[in-house]
Structure 1
C-alpha cells in the first residue's frame, strides 16, 4: 500500500495559522469599525458602512493585479511583504483619530488584505500534495471559517470593556504573531521560464481557465452576502438577537464536523459528490431561515448553511486552482477571489433593496431557489469546461 503524502507539514501549519490570524483581524475590524465610527468618531451608520465598502473596493481592484505581482516578485517575497504591510496597517488604527484618515487607512489596508489572501491561498495549494488537494484546501479553509467566529467574538467582547486604542493594540499583537508564522513557510520557486512574457492582455490580470468556476463562486457569495449582512437585523426583527450571536458558532461547528470527510470525497470520487449535495443543503438552510420563528430554527439553519456553504467555498477554490497551470496558481486564486469578493460586495448592496420589497423572509426564500438554479448553472459550466470526474 502506497503511503499518502503528508498534508500537515510545517509550512502548511504555519500558513494556516497565519491565515487564521489575518482573517480573525479582518472579521474583527469588519465588526468593530462601524461601531468605532459611530461611537468614537461621531460618524453615522452610513459612514460606518462606507468604511467597509472602501476596504472591499481596494481589495477587489488589487485582485486583478495580484497574479502579475506574484509572477514578478515570487510567492515567498510577496507573502512576507504583504503580511508585514497588513500588520503595519493594523497598527496604524491605533493612531487614527478622524473619519477621513480612517477611510484612507481602510483603502490602504484593503490592498494588502487582497494581496496576502491571494498569495497565501496560492502557496497553500502548492504546498498540498496534488492528489490530496481537495482535502488539504478543505483543511486550509477551516482557518478562514473559524475566523468568522473568532474575529467578531473578540471585537464584541472587548468593545464594552476597553478603549478603542486598546482594542486595536490587541488586533496588532495578533497580526505580529501571524507575521512571525509566515517566516517559517517554505515555498517552491518555479523556474523563470514558467512565467511567459506576453503582450498586455486579460491573462496578465486573470486566469481565463478559472473564470467559469469563479463565476459560480460569484453567485454563491452573492447569496451568502445576505447572511453576513442581514442575519443580525433579521434576527432582531424576530426578537432573536441574542440567539443570533451563536449563529456562526453553530455554523463553524457543523462545518468542522464534515470537513475531514468532504475533502476526501472530493479527491476520491470527484467534486460533484461534494458540491451538488452542499448546494442543496445550503438552499435548505436558506429556506429554513425564511420560515424561522424560534431560536432552534435559527440555529438549525446556521448548521445547514455551515454544512452547505462552508463546504462550497474551498471546493470552488480548489477547482479554480486545478483549472490552471501550476505556475499560475496565484492568478487562479486572485481570479477566484476577485469574483468572490465582487459577489459579496454586489450582494450586500443589492439584496438590501430586494429585502425592502420582499421582506427578509421573502428574500431568503428567493435565495434558496437562486442557489438551486446556481447548481444547474454549475453542472452546465463544468460539463463544458472542466472535468469533474474522479481524481
Structure 2
C-alpha cells in the first residue's frame, strides 16, 4: 500500500501538469505564429516598411522582459491561480484585438499589451508546473514542460505561414482566438495549491530588488542568458544563412530535425539529470551545442546542415529545462514564482541582446564567423557553469559538516 502511494505521489503526468503544459503550449504557439506572420501583415496589409515589421516583434518581447521581474511578486501576492486565469484571459482579449487594428501605432500598443500578458502568463505556467511536479522528478518533468515551448517554435511558424497561403489575416486571427479560448477553458481544470506565505515573504511585498528577483536563482539564470545569447543567432539568422549557402530549400527542415532529436533524447536525459545530477547532463549538452554551432559554421551540404540541427536539438534542447529546474531548486518553495520570473527575464534578455549584437557581428564578419564566436561563448559558459556548480557543492558540504558537528 505504501509503495502504491509513493508511486502515485511520484507521477509526472497528472491532470494538473498535463493541463498547465497544454496551456503553456497554446500560448507559445500563438506567440510564434504571430512572430512570423505579423511582419508580413504590416508590410502587405498595413503598407508598412520592413523596419516597422521588425519593431512589431521587438515591442512584444520588450514588454515581456519589462514585466517579468514584477511577475514573481504578483504571483506571490495575488495568488498563482488568479494570475494564471487573468493573464491568459488578457492574452486572449489582446489576440482578439488584432481583428480590428487598422493602424501601425495602434498595433504597436496592442503588441505591447500582448507582451505584458505573455510575460506574466508564461511565468505563471512555469511556476505552477514546478509546483505540480514531485521534487525527485522535477528535472524530468520540466523537460517535458519546456518541450511544449520548443515544439511551439516549430508548430507556430508552420501553422501561421501555411494558413496565410489559404486564408486572410482576419481569418488567421479568428483561428488563433479559438485556440486561446480553449486555453482559457483549460485554466479552470488546473488545481493550484497556493504556497503558505511566510512572515518573511509578506514583509517583502514592498517594491524592492528582492521583490522583483530571486537572487539565489540569479547565477544559474545568467548561465541560461548566455546560452540564449548564443542560440539567438540561430533563431534570427538560420533562414538567411541557409539561403546564402544555397540551402534555402532546407531551412524548414532545420527546426524539424531539431524538434525530432530533442523529443527523442529529452525524456532519457531528464531522468538522467534527476538520478545522477546536473553536471553529468548539462556539461555534455553544452559541448554538443558548441559542436553543433561549429558544424553549422562549415555546413556546405544538406547533410552537415541537418547534422548541426540534430546536435543543437540534443544539446540546447536539453539545457533549458535542466537549468530551469536548478533555478527553482535553489529557491525556497515560497519563492519559485520569483525564481521562474528571474530565469525567464534573463533568458529573454539573452535572446533580445543576442539577436542585436550577433546581427552586428554578421554584418562585420559574416555568418560562419558569427557561429564560431557563438560556439566559443558556449564553451566559456560551460566553464562558468562548472565553476558555479563546484562552488555550490562545496557550500553544501560545508553546511553538512557544521550540521553533523552540531548534532554531536
Decide: shared fold, TM above 0.5.
yes
Alignment-derived partner of residue 197 in structure 1 = 203
Aligned length, in residue pairs: 390
Q: Is structure 2 residue 169 aligned with structure 1 residue 164?
A: yes
Match of 1:48 among 44, 53, 66: 53
Q: Deviations over 1:238-274 (max 9, x none)?
A: 1211200111111000000011111111110001111
CA contact (8 A) 1:272 1:388 kept: no
How much has 1:387 moved relative to structure 2? 7.3
In the alignment, the residues of structure 2 paired with residue 323 and residue 40 of structure 1 have an alpha-carbon distance, to the nearest angstrom, of: 48
Match of 2:366 among 359, 367, 374: 359
Instruction: Give secondary structure in 1 for the equivalent of 2:159.
Output: helix
Q: How does 1:293-372 map to 2 (within 5 A)?
A: 293-372=300-379
How much has 1:109 moved relative to structure 2? 0.2
CA contact (8 A) 2:16 2:191 kept: yes
How much has 1:388 moved relative to structure 2? 11
> Bigger shift: 304-313 or 378-387?
378-387
| 5+ residue gaps, structure 1 | none
In the alignment, the residues of structure 2 paired with residue 382 and residue 176 of structure 1 have an alpha-carbon distance, to the nearest angstrom, of: 42
CA RMSD of aligned residues (A): 1.6
In the alignment, the residues of structure 2 paired with residue 385 and residue 201 of structure 1 have an alpha-carbon distance, to the nearest angstrom, of: 26
In the alignment, the residues of structure 1 paired with residue 329 and residue 36 of structure 2 have an alpha-carbon distance, to the nearest angstrom, of: 34
Alignment-derived partner of residue 179 in structure 1 = 184
How much has 1:297 moved relative to structure 2? 1.4
Match of 2:151 among 146, 151, 155: 146
Q: Deviations over 1:87-138 (max 9, x none)?
A: 1111111111111111001100000000000010000000000010001000
Q: How does 1:87-98 map to 2 (within 5 A)?
A: 87-98=92-103
CA contact (8 A) 1:217 1:313 kept: yes
Match of 1:30 among 7, 10, 35: 35
**Larger Rg, first or second structure (1 or 2):** 2
Alignment-derived partner of residue 399 in structure 2 = none
CA contact (8 A) 2:195 2:333 kept: no
Q: How does 1:114-133 map to 2 (within 5 A)?
A: 114-133=119-138
Q: How does 1:176-255 map to 2 (within 5 A)?
A: 176-193=181-198, 195-198=201-204, 200-255=207-262
In the alignment, the residues of structure 1 paired with residue 267 and residue 112 of structure 2 have an alpha-carbon distance, to the nearest angstrom, of: 37
Q: Deviations over 1:37-87 (max 9, x none)?
A: 111111111111101111111100101100111111100110011111111
How much has 1:200 moved relative to structure 2? 4.0
Instruction: Give secondary structure in 2 for the equivalent of 1:187.
Output: coil
In the alignment, the residues of structure 2 paired with residue 247 and residue 62 of structure 1 have an alpha-carbon distance, to the nearest angstrom, of: 32
How much has 1:386 moved relative to structure 2? 5.8
CA contact (8 A) 1:118 1:337 kept: yes
| Over 4 Å off, 4+ runs | 386-389
Instruction: Give secondary structure in 2 for the equivalent of 1:192.
Output: coil
In the alignment, the residues of structure 1 paired with residue 393 and residue 66 of structure 2 have an alpha-carbon distance, to the nearest angstrom, of: 27
CA contact (8 A) 1:25 1:171 kept: yes
CA contact (8 A) 1:37 1:43 kept: yes
Q: Deviations over 1:334-353 (max 9, x none)?
A: 00000000000001111100
